[in-house]
């Protein structure tokens, strides 16, 4: 009996010890936390100091561009900074200028006066029409400024180009003293020429304005371009190609591209001239290029005047307002070179 009890007791002890060992083996031991490396803190980039505003007799000027010119942003002020003067408060320029800004002056429009020098001055300064500049025809080295570039002059009237309308709001106008046109016995308009001195003045003035306001070639236009149904100036005698070739001013087509289109255009005009779908195609091309013509599928009066204005600018050898193969080829070449964005 004693022996039996001994064996039972010994077995219980062994089982108990074994269980305790197993428990010890399975006991959870928390892992020692690993310290995470803290991200390096980049030192703040010091802000580049802005150029100072220059004050002269209480008037402020800022003539430096600190914006991104690739976005057509420009902070330079050509002239004094115009500021509000609210009663009881002080306007400060502590954070001037913001970089997100550009010029209102986005177009350059050229005109002729159809008047001699003295009458041109009187009309443009004393009546309800004006321009920012007047280029005389007396052979001197002077150009008359009539309106501050920061203000609207009344030179464009009812006008449009591409998606923009009322171009007085966004343009600078240059008037050129010129007799305009007379009409011959057949009713054809005969336009007066421009002197070499005038052309050089216009080129120098236009170049200065275009560079300062970053005006693209597509926005250097004739009054006839932006109001083709009612205006002809500066007419077919104005040397647009000379300005393009010698001064890089405005638009012109590439001759080789024009010739490639011309070969196809000749066949179109032989078989499709009065086809409404073809007329609609040409009207749409004029509209897409920039002219304010409504496609109708008809050779209507507005279309004829628009073609005439186009020819004044880009095909001055023949400005009869009739679309022909050469005019159509030039329009297509220009549309390819200066696409609407």
Q: Which residues carry out catalysis?
A: 175
User: What are the angstrom distances between the C-alpha of 198 and each of 23, 146, 166, 191?
Assistant: 107, 17, 28, 16
Is it true that the peptide bond before 127 is cis, omega within 30 degrees of 0?
no
Q: How far apart are CA 159 and CA 229, in angstroms?
A: 10
Say which residues have a Cβ less than 8 Å from residue 147's Cβ, sequence separation at least 6: 130, 131, 132, 153
Residue 293 φ/ψ region, left for φ over 0, alpha for ψ in the -120 to 50 degree band, beta for the rest: beta
- Between strands 107-112 and 133-135, the pairing is unpaired
Q: How far apart are CA 308 and CA 236, in angstroms?
A: 10
Decide: 286 and 293 in contact? Cβ < 8 Å.
yes
Q: How many CB atoms lie within 10 A of CB 339?
A: 10
User: What are the angstrom distances between the C-alpha of 14 and each of 11, 17, 19?
Assistant: 5, 5, 9
Main-chain phi, psi angles of 42, to 5 degrees: -75, 135
For residue 292 the two structure tokens come to 């304010």
Decide: 212 and 181 in contact? Cβ < 8 Å.
no
Give the SS3 label for residue 33.
coil
DSSP strands (E only) in 25-119: 54-56, 59-61, 107-112
Decide: 206 and 108 in contact? Cβ < 8 Å.
yes
Task: Give the angle subtended at the CA of 312 by the CAs of 309 and 318, to the nearest 5°.
Answer: 115
Q: How far apart are CA 58 and CA 60, in angstroms?
A: 7
């Amino acid at each position: 009996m004693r022996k039996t009890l001994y064996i039972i007791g010994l077995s219980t002890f062994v089982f108990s010890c074994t269980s305790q060992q197993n428990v010890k083996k399975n006991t959870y031991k928390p892992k020692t936390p690993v310290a995470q490396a803290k991200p390096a803190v980049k030192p703040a980039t010091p802000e580049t100091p802005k150029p100072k505003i220059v004050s002269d007799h209480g008037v402020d000027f800022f003539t430096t561009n600190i914006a991104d010119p690739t976005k057509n942003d420009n902070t330079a002020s050509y002239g004094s900074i115009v500021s509000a003067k609210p009663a009881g408060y002080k306007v400060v320029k502590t954070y001037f200028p913001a970089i997100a800004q550009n010029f209102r002056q986005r177009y350059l429009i050229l005109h002729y006066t159809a008047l001699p020098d003295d009458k041109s001055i009187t009309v443009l300064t004393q009546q309800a029409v004006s321009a920012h500049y007047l280029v005389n025809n007396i052979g001197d080295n002077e150009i008359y400024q009539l309106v501050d570039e920061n203000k609207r002059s009344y030179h464009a009237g009812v006008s449009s180009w591409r998606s923009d309308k009322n171009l007085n709001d966004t343009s600078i106008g240059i008037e050129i003293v010129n007799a305009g046109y007379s009409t011959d016995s057949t009713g054809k308009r005969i336009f007066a020429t421009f002197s070499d001195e005038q052309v050089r003045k216009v080129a120098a003035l236009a170049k200065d304005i275009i560079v300062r306001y970053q005006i693209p070639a597509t926005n250097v236009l004739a009054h006839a371009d932006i109001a083709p149904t009612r205006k002809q100036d500066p007419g077919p005698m104005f040397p647009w190609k000379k300005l393009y070739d010698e001064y890089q001013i405005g638009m012109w087509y590439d001759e080789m591209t024009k010739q490639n289109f011309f070969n196809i255009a000749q066949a179109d005009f032989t078989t499709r001239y009065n086809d409404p779908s073809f007329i609609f195609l040409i009207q749409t091309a004029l509209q897409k290029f920039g002219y304010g013509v409504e496609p109708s599928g008809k050779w209507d009066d507005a279309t004829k005047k628009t073609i005439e204005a186009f020819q004044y600018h880009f095909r001055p050898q023949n400005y009869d307002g009739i679309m022909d193969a050469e005019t159509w080829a030039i329009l297509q070449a220009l549309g390819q070179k200066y696409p609407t964005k």
